Amino acid sequence: MDFTITRQNLHQGLAAVSASIPAKTTLPVLSNILIQAREGGVWMTGTDLDVAVRIQVPADVAVPGSLTAPGKKLQEIARELPDQPVTIVARGDQLEIRCGRSAFKLNGLPSEEFPSLPEIRFEEGWTVTGKDLQRLIHHTSFAVSTEESRPILNGVLWELRDGHMRMVATNGHRLARMVVPAGAATATSADFIVPPAALQQVQRLFRSDDALDVARDGNHLGFRSGGTEVFTRLIEGTYPNYEQVIPKDNDKWAIVQKSTFESAVRRMAIVASDQTHRIRLVFQKNSVHLNVLTPDLGEGEDELELQYEGDELEIGFNANYLLEVLRYMPTQEVKLTFKAPERASTLEPVVKGDESLDYLCLVMPLRLLD
């Protein structure tokens, strides 16, 4: 293998794939990046066995070939090299890097030891816009569970339907669901449970104006646009019926100014219990009273003016869940709906004019102890 590449292209390629390299691994080859010099450019690949990233960067290839080399070290070297052409040559299992008067040799491993990527046929898949995918991921993936006891909730449910796409994430205490229109290219219905780590790579590597090809092969899903590809292992199993927990009969509602409400909740959270983070809210006509009482710390209270329709309601929430949901609300006005102190509450953006936004978050209340 022998090729010449600009420092910028080398650094860009390594930066793209090195984020998929695991911090710790018992398999030495996973700390390496697979470099494949072919006619037309150089392919670089990194993987942690669950998520893989592959990118093609322009280079002048004199001799095709492949080798794996330590990813993080290669990236650090590329970052510090002078702004001149870089020549990379493989001699046996060693990678030689030359740039100006700088020269390095890195010990690599044969490319045959690198895990093979899934054979995904993108031409049999779907096409989605980067903008739609970015919005879905941004507004839902924060709600996934991090507990290992229910692995199915460690992923984001992605439903592709004729005419729309939907993403849902929940940890059993809070839920986020968003729907965006999609073209007829998604005519074949499909459901995937995607690990958030893969969706983070999609967010990081693809731009909102990209058109992405998405396809499935068995238990793997692939995303591709231009010379960038992301592959992920899907989470197997059946996602819980989330529609059952979304209330349809909440008859009390309030409209709050997001920033004002967020500030008040954040102030109350300071003196809330470190275990439950519980705060108490009392909704009355035109106002909400917030208060916290933590016996071993102290207490706090606050009051806000707002629009409220319904009987007086006293309800408890985990302040952290409330703040998290508010952070991802895309509008300044937010509508909250309630039924009873022990029933799920919803939060939705208040959109003006003809604009439509199909986004809903749900937060389960906490029992208030007298």
Within-domain flag for 346 = yes
CA dist 56 to 59, 148, 228, 334, Å?
9, 35, 6, 43
Number of domains in the chain: 3
Say how far apart CA 294 and CA 353 lie, in whole Å: 43
Higher per-residue confidence, 325 vs 183: 325
Asked if 90 and 65 touch (Cβ cutoff 8 Å), the reply is yes
In degrees to the nearest 10, what's the CA dihedral of 27, 30, 35, 36? Answer: 70
CATH code of the domain in which 228 resides: 3.10.150.10
Within-domain flag for 138 = yes
Residues 257, 326 share a domain: yes
Among all chains, which residue has been given the structure tokens 């899903």?
221
**What pLDDT sits at residue 356?**
80
Written as one letter, the residue type at 292 is V
Give the other-Cβ count within 10 Å of 138's Cβ.
Answer: 15
Tens digit of each residue's pLDDT (9 = 90 or more) over 176-219: 999 998 765 544 788 999 999 999 999 999 999 999 999 999 99
Written as one letter, the residue type at 326 is L
Range of the domain at 356: 246-363
Residues 355, 251 share a domain: yes
Within-domain flag for 229 = yes
Within-domain flag for 287 = yes
Tens digit of each residue's pLDDT (9 = 90 or more) over 107-153: 999 999 999 999 999 988 889 999 999 999 999 999 999 998 889 99
Tens digit of each residue's pLDDT (9 = 90 or more) over 73-95: 999 999 999 999 999 999 999 99
Residues 341, 256 share a domain: yes
Token pair in block for residue 277: 């983070």
**What pLDDT sits at residue 187?**
46
Say how far apart CA 61 and CA 37 lie, in whole Å: 6
The torsion angles phi and psi of 125, rounded to 5 degrees, stand at: -105, -145
The model's pTM: 0.90
Residues 357, 264 share a domain: yes
Say how far apart CA 369 and CA 41 lie, in whole Å: 65
